Amino acid sequence: MTKQQKIYVTQPSLPDLQAYTKLLEQIWESKRITNNGDFHKQFEAELCDFLKVNHLSLFANGTLALMVALKALRITGEVITTPYSFVATTHALHWNGIKPVFCDINEHDFNINPDKIEALITPKTTAIMPVHVYGNPCNNDKIQKIADTYGLKVIYDAAHAFGVEKNGESILNWGDLSVLSFHATKSFNTVEGGAIVTKDEKLKERIDFLKNFGFANEVTVVGYGINGKMNELMAAYGLLQLKTFNSEVTKRKRITDLYNRLLKDKKGIKLNATPENTTSNYSYYPVLIESEKSGKTRDEVYEQLKQNNIYARRYFYPLISQFPAYRGLPSAGDDRLPVATKIAQQVLCLPVYAELDEETVQKIGKTVLL
């Protein structure tokens, strides 16, 4: 790494250009560039096999997929969700006219705390929308039990959880629906892109109508649809990405292991422990800076890295509940979300991507510890 080179929190891996050019030539030849073409169909089928899920609908991005997931299940009223996520999680509720109700999170995995959900349920509650933050699986057993008791739907924002398995099974099969993001910053990317995973064939059909303006056929519109379709160029790109995903994960694991070795047991630095019996896609490397022990605040470490051309990110600070659009909600007060408020002040996501070399990781580790 040269002294001037900027290191960002992530960098996308792209498919082999020659291989992609060949697929593009086929697209140019066929003139089929969007609306459920051959590459789209093939990509959906291959993703289902790869992810061990029954049905999957591709989308232009994860945010549209979240919006359609809520619409497909006819969610209304209030939805219990986490403030510790990317703002798209809550925006998807707002775009459906749903009131978000924020629930605090766990210290150990940054996910919604299931023990605090029940107290937030009102007659208007129709669903729970948890997020598998950094790919750490939520406590589905507890969440599903509450949902079953109160007759609520569960929509998982699984934007970070591509390929994640627990006890050998895909966590994408949990709940009523799971939503993926294939954004450039994710470990599996199609430039922009996303998907909804479902076990129910009829529900997939409805989702497919809704992402195509609601059209069930040429003359029938069955609901308030939107244009959420993924195009053929991205589907072809995604097919190539699938071939290299396992090696992408291996490379990211190597970097994660190296960080763990460098930062383990350092005063005031808390690492994200990999949950038991769970696989990871190593999309993020979050650390918590505990200023009372380390003698430095998270923001001081963030600035110190920046001065060395290392652009770590504070995912997820501020909390969604702290943004002006949401901070007026009764559930949004920091006093009601003490764990999320604390973690958002401490978290720093360090750079992790396949092409990050060992020397740079060493430098980042040393700079964190300065």
Asked if 85 touches ligand T4K (CB under 6 A), the answer is yes
Smaller CB separation from ligand T4K, 294 or 312? 312
Reduce the DSSP state of residue 100 to 3 states and report it: strand
Q: By the 8 A CB rule, do 151 and 178 touch?
A: no
Work out which of 11, 34, 297, 345 binds ligand T4K, going by CB under 6 A.
11
C-alpha dihedral sign at 209, 70, 326, 130: negative
Token pair listed for 226:
């939107």
Distance CA 14, CA 2 (A): 23
Q: How far is the CB of 81 from ligand T4K (least distance, A)?
A: 11
Per CB under 6 A, the segment of 23-31, 176-184, 197-205, 249-257 that binds ligand T4K is 176-184
Answer for the pair 164, 155: CB distance below 8 angstroms, yes or no: no
Give the closest residue to 242 by CA, choosing from 194, 284, 168, 187: 187
Does residue 309 bind ligand T4K (CB under 6 A)?
Answer: no
Residue 81 engages ligand T4K in binding (rule: CB under 6 A): no
> What whole-number distance in Å separates Cα of residue 349 and Cα of residue 317?
11
Window of 72-80, 182-190, 236-244, 329-337 that interacts with ligand T4K by CB under 6 A: 182-190
Subset of 194-253 contacting ligand T4K (CB under 6 A): 194
User: In the set 86, 188, 259, 317, which binds ligand T4K (CB under 6 A)?
Assistant: 86
- What are 262's two structure tokens? 């460098």
Q: Is 311 in the site for ligand T4K (CB under 6 A)?
A: yes
Nearest residue (CB) to ligand T4K, 283 versus 346: 283
Task: Report the distance separating Cα 337 and Cα 339, nearest Å.
Answer: 6
Rounded-to-integer distance, Cα 2 and Cα 147, Å: 53
Check binding of 8 to ligand T4K (CB under 6 A): yes
Q: Is 89 among the residues that bind ligand T4K (CB under 6 A)?
A: yes
Q: Of 94-102, 181-189, 251-259, 274-282, which part binds ligand T4K (CB under 6 A)?
A: 181-189
Contact by Cβ (8 Å): 36, 204? no
CA distance linking residue 60 with residue 227, whole number of Å: 9
Does 181 participate in binding ligand T4K (rule CB under 6 A)? yes
Using CB under 6 A, list all residues that contact ligand T4K.
8-12, 61-63, 85-86, 88-89, 131, 157, 159-160, 181, 183-185, 194, 311, 313, 315
